[in-house]
Amino acid sequence: MFENTDDVLARLSEQGYIADKSVATVVYLATKLEKPVLVEGPAGVGKTELAKVTATALGRKLIRLQCYEGLDEAKALYEWEYSKQLLYTQILKEKFTEAMAGATSVRDAAERIGREDSVFFSERFIVPRPLLTAITSDEPVLLLVDEVDKSDPEFEAFLLEVLSDYQVSVPEVGTFDAKQKPVVFLTSNDAREMSDALKRRCLHLWIDFPDAEQEVKILESKVPGVDQRLAEDLVELMQGLRKLDLKKAPSISETLDWARALLALNATELDEGLVQDTLNVILKYEGDIRKAQGELGRLLVRKSVPQEGEGAVAGPAEPAADAPAKPATPAKPGEPAPAAKKGRLH
């Protein structure tokens, strides 16, 4: 387990996960108090990843239950293995015939077969699904109930039972108590509000988009090899894009995808042409792309003073660095992207 919140921060960072103090505090308390954590926040901010890296940091196996509409107990808890039961009845046919020998009526024969029920409804014929696997595991595990908001409210109620007692009961077999209490993470994208009962049982963690400093650190950790200046410019632009009223704000995953795309294009600087050409890596709706294109001029404000060792900025002379910012002209949709211009964001 973790020693304190600093230990959480250090061990998550060893896995390439850059957390802040509030995240580390909740993770520490969850393990210390043995309480599930409900992690909420926009898409792509690292909710699922947090559970994965915590499992690795704790040396626990990750057991994942992916939720969706219509998910039921059979898929989440256990199922009877019908084909195996059938196979056993075929193999044991003779024994059944023996058991039924001397039966005086159909009812009597059924009674005699019924006495053998427990053979077929025993642990031998149970297919454990993630929840039962997590409860019955001999090794300590981390259970991730991912995107719990996509499941139905009935499933949420059932989950509550499991989470309150760390216990599962199979009517024909009995009750399974957790041998080792699993560390539990639930994630939600807010597709629907979680019940108060669930919230009450969990520690709550809201992960928002990171600030620029943290996002640069994440970028450096996840995409080594990206030039620091490029990373800073890229993050600054992402932070600006998130302030626009977009249908789907770009998240950390898009920042990482974009950095990888720019690396693949051997880009060392962020210029307007390059941004125009690669906007589709970070924005997934045509309307968002058009809106961002319209704002690029404002977002991509350049410094005019050439950096040491750089050539002059292309285009007409630009004002001094401390002069009011002059917006760059965005390319019109459909037009070829303008030639790469040098310049820094600020």
Ligand X SMILES: Nc1ncnc2c1ncn2[C@@H]1O[C@H](COP(=O)(O)OP(=O)(O)OP(=O)(O)O)[C@@H](O)[C@H]1O
Please state the closest distance from residue 120 (CB atom) to ligand X, in A.
Answer: 40
* 93 Cβ neighbours under 8 A, 6+ residues apart: none
The interface mask with ligand X, positions 182-221, x = CB under 6 A, is: -----x-x----------------------------x--x
Which residue bears the tokens 């390439």? Answer: 16
Give the count of residues interacting with ligand X (CB under 6 A): 19
CA 303 distance to own-chain centroid: 38
Task: Pick the closer one to ligand X by CB: 47 or 344.
Answer: 47
37 contacts ligand X (rule: CB under 6 A): no
- Helix and strand totals (H; E) in the chain: 16, 11
**Phi, psi angles (nearest 5°) of residue 46:** 100, 25
Please state the closest distance from residue 52 (CB atom) to Mg ion, in A.
Answer: 10
294 contacts ligand X (rule: CB under 6 A): no
Q: β-strands 126-128, 78-80: how paired?
A: antiparallel
Rounded to 5°, the CA angle 126-129-134 comes to 110
Q: Are 47 and 88 in contact (CB under 8 A)?
A: no
252 contacts ligand X (rule: CB under 6 A): yes
Cα end-to-end distance, the chain, whole Å: 43
CB closest to ligand X, residue no: 46
Which residue bears the tokens 């009877």? Answer: 80
11 contacts ligand X (rule: CB under 6 A): no
Residues that bind Mg ion (CB under 5 A): 48
Options 7, 10, 25, 43; binder of ligand X; rule CB under 6 A: 43
223 contacts ligand X (rule: CB under 6 A): no
Options 2, 8, 9, 18; binder of ligand X; rule CB under 6 A: 18
Q: Which residues bind to ligand X, rule: CB under 6 A?
A: 16-19, 43-49, 187, 189, 218, 221-222, 252-253, 256
